[in-house]
Structure 1
Amino acid sequence: MNKSLRNPLVFTLFILPALLLFLIFFIYPIFSSLYYSLTSWNGVSDTVKFTGLNNFEKALGDDRFWISVKNNGWFILFSVFIQVPLIVLFSLLIANVKKLKGLYKTAVFMPSIMSTAVIGILWGFIYEPNIGLFNKVLGVVGIEPVYWLSDERFAMLSILITNAWQWTGFYIVMVLAAILSIPGELDEAAAIDGATGFQRATRITLPLIVPIISVVIMLSIAGAMKAADIVIVMTKGGPAGSTEVMATYMIKYAITNFKYGYGNAIAVLIFMFTLVVTALYQLLFARRNERIEY
């Protein structure tokens, strides 16, 4: 069997199906999108007019596109500096729970398996100006109702909170798995030496789960760059484009306005921006924390 696997022909036959799927569903769409990004096409007619880099020049010169880029940046910043610390905190708390640990893990994971449409509608009721939960609480302390989704000052923050609520549980399960895989002898030895729970968490547990935290950050960045569904459900990019992200900007032009060539140019820019951001993170931070030895 080992001799057969060393045969280049046999090896090629084994990887060929996966390679074909990769070419069909990944490589071909990328080059197809790149081709159409250089054209003026409505996505329906047989006429495809080559326009060179005009679509990219138009996008980079459009203020609304840069607003969408900025909003994707807010997604990244919120995920990295607010959501990830909360993920680590809740993971540490759940890991130290003695009873009903499975219940807590299931409870935090539930939002991740719910439809984004359901979550958007649910939080839409929570943000509702007249009967929403948030404004009811604010009314108790005498604060006037806040128009969470129709006020430019609060709309983006409202979406960020909702998106974080949906995906925090998914990442908690990942970090929790890493915490529970740490040998118990390390924690027990530290406790015998007199280390407090806080000291054990910060000096033993956190350094040992840095690789999985790095993965969570990278996945959060990638997810922030392709965020679209929660924005479409809750605000459709409004009010006045203040919650537009690159993906919704692309959808608006490629599908709604039948500017398929321009939409593909936006898709290429999203791909390039995501590649640059994740590559910078990998080069500057992630590679330093790839492996931890117990």
Structure 2
Amino acid sequence: MRFVIKPENHKTATLSSQATADAILEIATNMSKDNITDKIYRESYGDPDEKRSRVEDQLALSYHNKCAYCERLAKADIEHYRPKKKVAEDNAHNGYYWLCYEWTNLLPSCVKCNREGAKHSKFPIIGNRVYTPSFLANNQLDEDHQKAQNNPLMNEIPYLLHPEVDNPDLFFGFFIDPSGNGIRIKGVDTQNRGDGTIEVCLLNRQELRLERVENVINPFKQSVESAFVMLGDGIYNDDQFVQQIIFQINQLIINASNEKSTHTLLRKFIVKSHQNFSAIVLPYLASSIRNIVLAAFKSI
């Protein structure tokens, strides 16, 4: 997960239309959940290679075709951050039906994070749950109260972090799985919202643990170990070897700031300090080269 700024003007013409505003008002006024249609919040269209979505296309501008929760490159579900028809933890709740077409409530999510035993209609909170929409004196919806970053929705304090509202850097850390099966993410905040997000979206499922190693650690490991082989073969002299190690570390740092990279949160965590680098990267390197690589990291 990374912090995302999703511009309002990236909304599709349909989501921005008066017809959609009228449809939302009717749904909110009459609690007519059956009238919610994916023709509006998804806007599917034909493509020679696959069925696509205009809303997904617009979300991809900010999310770079990645899942909002796990940051894998994936064909996205159009995910309702606050579930539109029911809330798993609250049988008395009718779902956030009035947010069905709200731009700040729509996120791109991979199938694994959204369905398949993960998020779906789960939405646990710490604060006070909002049960009904807010209306103005003229019986129109209060549009400000529909925004995820505004009260009263903010006062719910959801366990599930919103990548456009919450800075993930403040909520997560990483550690190597004790069984050797990849890298685990952990919550570090005092309200346990990081852990809550991990639980809701199953962010420690095996495929993710292993992908973090494959996509982030292994390219660095292979490049560094190749440099040592080239030094031993006489292809690099000592100065060239040191510069190559420093170059690879700088690539780690650059990719941590590249929004298009996968698993940017892990990348940022690794390069934040030599302690993090030592804990996450060094155990994957041959013991004979760890001190040399760590010294190079500290020199930058």
| TM-score relative to the length of structure 2 | 0.29
| More helix as a share of residues | 1
| More strand as a share of residues | 2
Question: Whose relative contact order is higher, 1 or 2, with alpha carbons under 8 Å and at least 6 apart?
Answer: 1
Structure whose alpha-carbon radius of gyration is higher: 1
